[in-house]
Amino acid sequence: MLTLTYAPDGASTWTSQTVLCNTTRSLTELNVEFNHQRSISVEQLATALGSGTAGLAQDFGNWRNTLSLTVRRGVDFSNAAFADPEAALAFALQQPAQFGTTGTLQIKLAGVTTNTTLYLLNVAVQAIQLPADGWLGVAPQFRYTFNGGLITGTSPF
């Protein structure tokens, strides 16, 4: 089971959250992709180059975590069924390309022996896409890509 809940920065509790996925489908079915990426800021690169050292040789420790998955409305969301394909299309057309702020992504995982909650901090929704092959009547499929910082088991609230 996978539940993703997004809370924007400034929230003091999980009461102002948005549930983005709540499913019992397998991680394979959700096409989950995860990777750690090291990135450096322009300022850090300029400082490194100004000091006469190669910027890429320095360990800045700026890990970014990218998490992508494909969810289907009406299957992976609670209370998200549409009356007809037109209602599903109207909903899809109104989806933002991204969320307006950063926040925290709560990741609840419950498997046969695993039951844990993790938090992806300083996360931004990098992309929300409706793939060309993602339309299935009243259950459109969305591809979410999250880009965040540290992953921790400690709740920020």
Distance of CA 48 to the CA centre of its chain: 31
| E strand or H helix that includes residue 125 | strand 115-129
Nearest-angstrom CA–CA distance, 26 and 2:
8
| Cross-strand pairs, 5 | 19, 106
Q: Is the pLDDT of residue 120 over 80?
A: yes
Give the model's confidence band at 36: pLDDT under 50 very low, under 70 low, under 90 confident, else very high. low
Location of structure tokens 């969320």: 99
Q: Which pLDDT score is estimated for 136?
A: 73
Nearest to 64 by CA among 95, 33, 40: 40
Contacts of 130 (CB under 8 A, 6+ apart): 92, 95, 140, 141, 142, 143
pLDDT interval class at 49 (50, 70, 90): very low
Q: What is the mean pLDDT of residues 105-128?
A: 90
Neighbours of 144 (CB within 10 A): 20
- Rounded to an integer, the average pLDDT of 28-36 is 84
Average pLDDT (80-105) is 78
Confidence of residue 39 (pLDDT cuts 50, 70, 90): low
Check residue 115 and give its pLDDT.
Answer: 93
pLDDT digit string, tens, across residues 56-89: 444 445 668 899 988 887 777 656 678 888 887 7
Q: Tokens 């990135």 sit at which residue?
A: 39
Closest CA to 139 of 95, 93, 97, 77: 77
pLDDT of residue 59: 43
Q: Which residue has the tokens 């046969």?
A: 112
